[in-house]
């Protein structure tokens, strides 16, 4: 069976799929398609991608002749189609729990994370930082029993969350000032030590590029923005 991922390391949604492929030991090809804002001048988008992803969304997966976009449906499709070590619980009731937690992470954690690095106002960045801190702290409930987000082992929920862990240092440089709870910090360390975590971990150069891109974005949006001021003083 042939598996090809169309994606890019800077895209958090692509990172989810890359994590799952590596953690499950699935051989695959990678076609690098940077997000629109990160494409180098003169980059030619593959015709196959244009045809199969009309909205230009990454990640896109090709399994033999079948195509799919959107990271969470891709994660489930890979579970259905690829016979490899599963990251999905066997019982349907446990899968329902996994799906619920994946959706909660997607909505409650990714939204403030994105607001941090797309923020161009110090007060809004500070609010996003606070919201992200609270959302991450809420993971303590999931981690309380076994130290993983669903059950006693890594799951697709880890794949959904891992992009936050990957870019955490970059987020800090862009205004995230929250501290992880003890259990979340330990979970991050365990997750990043997995095969999938090691496969998607950023080098210092990647973090630098991520930060540079959003500092440039902020300057273009607001030339008066003070990139060095992470949050306003509070009295």
- CA-nearest of 153, 61, 142, 130 to 102 is 142
Q: Specify the CATH number for 92-221; select among 2.60.40.10, 2.40.100.20, 3.30.2080.10, 1.20.1050.10.
A: 1.20.1050.10
Q: What percent of the chain has pLDDT over 90?
A: 86
pLDDT level of residue 201 (50, 70, 90 thresholds): very high
pLDDT at residue 232 greater than cutoff 80 = no
Gyration radius from the chain CA atoms: 18
Helices and strands counted in the chain (H then E) = 12, 4
pLDDT level of residue 226 (50, 70, 90 thresholds): low
Long-range contacts (CB closer than 8 Å, 24 or more residues apart) made by 217-225: 217/37, 217/118, 217/120, 218/119, 218/120, 221/120, 222/120, 222/121, 225/120, 225/121, 225/122
40 and 34 Cβ atoms separated by less than 8 Å: yes
Q: What is the distance of C-alpha 104 from the center of its chain?
A: 14
59: left (phi over 0), alpha (psi -120 to 50) or beta: beta
pLDDT at residue 202 greater than cutoff 70 = yes
pLDDT level of residue 161 (50, 70, 90 thresholds): very high
Domain boundaries, the chain: 3-81, 92-221
Compute the average pLDDT of residues 30-59: 91
Residue whose token pair is 């500070």: 126
pLDDT tens digits, one per residue of 79-134: 999 999 999 998 899 999 999 999 999 999 999 999 999 999 999 999 999 999 99
Compute the average pLDDT of residues 17-44: 94
What is the model's pTM?
Answer: 0.92
pLDDT tens digits, one per residue of 133-157: 999 999 999 999 999 999 999 999 9
pLDDT at residue number 36: 86
Domain 3-81: state its class.
alpha beta
Q: Classify residue 59 by its DSSP letter.
A: -
Q: What percent of the chain has pLDDT over 70?
A: 95
Query: What does the alpha-carbon distance between residue 183 and residue 23 come to, in Å, rounded to a whole number?
Result: 22
pLDDT at residue 235 greater than cutoff 80 = no
């Amino acid at each position: 069976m042939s598996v090809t991922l169309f994606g890019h390391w800077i895209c958090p949604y692509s990172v989810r799929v890359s994590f799952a492929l590596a953690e499950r030991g699935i051989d695959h090809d990678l076609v690098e398609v940077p997000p629109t804002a990160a494409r180098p001048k003169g980059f030619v988008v593959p015709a196959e991608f244009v045809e199969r992803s009309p909205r230009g969304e990454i990640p896109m997966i090709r399994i033999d002749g079948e195509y799919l976009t959107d990271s969470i449906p891709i994660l489930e499709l890979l579970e259905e189609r690829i016979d490899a070590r599963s990251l999905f619980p066997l019982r349907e009731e446990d899968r329902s729990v996994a799906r619920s937690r994946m959706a909660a992470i997607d909505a409650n954690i990714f939204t403030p994370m994105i607001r941090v690095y797309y923020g161009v106002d110090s007060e809004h960045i500070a609010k996003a930082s606070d919201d992200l801190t609270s959302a991450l702290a809420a993971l303590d409930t999931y981690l309380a029993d076994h130290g993983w987000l669903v059950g006693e082992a890594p799951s697709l929920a880890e794949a959904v969350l891992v992009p936050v862990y990957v870019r955490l240092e970059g987020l800090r440089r862009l205004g995230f000032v929250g501290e992880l709870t003890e259990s979340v910090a330990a979970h991050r360390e365990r997750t990043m030590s997995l095969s999938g975590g090691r496969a998607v971990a950023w080098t210092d150069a990647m973090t630098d590029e991520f930060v540079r891109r959003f500092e440039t974005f902020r300057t273009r949006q607001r030339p008066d923005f003070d990139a060095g001021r992470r949050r306003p003083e509070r009295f």
